[in-house]
Amino acid sequence: MTNEDVVVFNGMKDVVSNVVATVRESVHAEAAPGIYNVVINCPRYSREALMYALNHMMEHKATSLVFLDMTPDDRDLWLKTFLAKHYHI
């Protein structure tokens, strides 16, 4: 290998390492931070129903982010509507 080949190879290695780091970061960023505690601590609903809603939110990050910003009354209304729609109430 020539010096030039080594430089090109190291550059490619750095690019691949950066892609790997970005993918790893995005895996952790999929869920909205804190969503588990906020959902699971909502009163009035069974743990099964809350886990169903949590699963939905884990698959729909935008929903999770909005849910986190809701007032407790709005969270309750969202859960009531969502769970009724999916036959958990």
One digit per residue, the tens of pLDDT, for the chain of length 89 reads: 788 866 666 776 766 666 666 656 655 556 899 999 999 999 999 999 999 999 999 999 999 999 999 999 999 999 999 999 998 76
Domain span at 11: 1-30
Structure tokens at 52: 């169903």
Residue 39 makes CB contacts below 8 A (sequence gap 6+) with: 50, 53, 54, 57, 67
Longest pairwise C-alpha distance within the chain: 69
CA separation for the pair 32, 70 (Å, rounded): 14
Give me the phi and psi of 62, to 5 degrees please: -60, -40
Asked whether residue 10 falls in the same domain as residue 41, the answer is no
Asked whether residue 47 falls in the same domain as residue 85, the answer is yes
Asked whether residue 8 falls in the same domain as residue 44, the answer is no
Asked whether residue 47 falls in the same domain as residue 82, the answer is yes
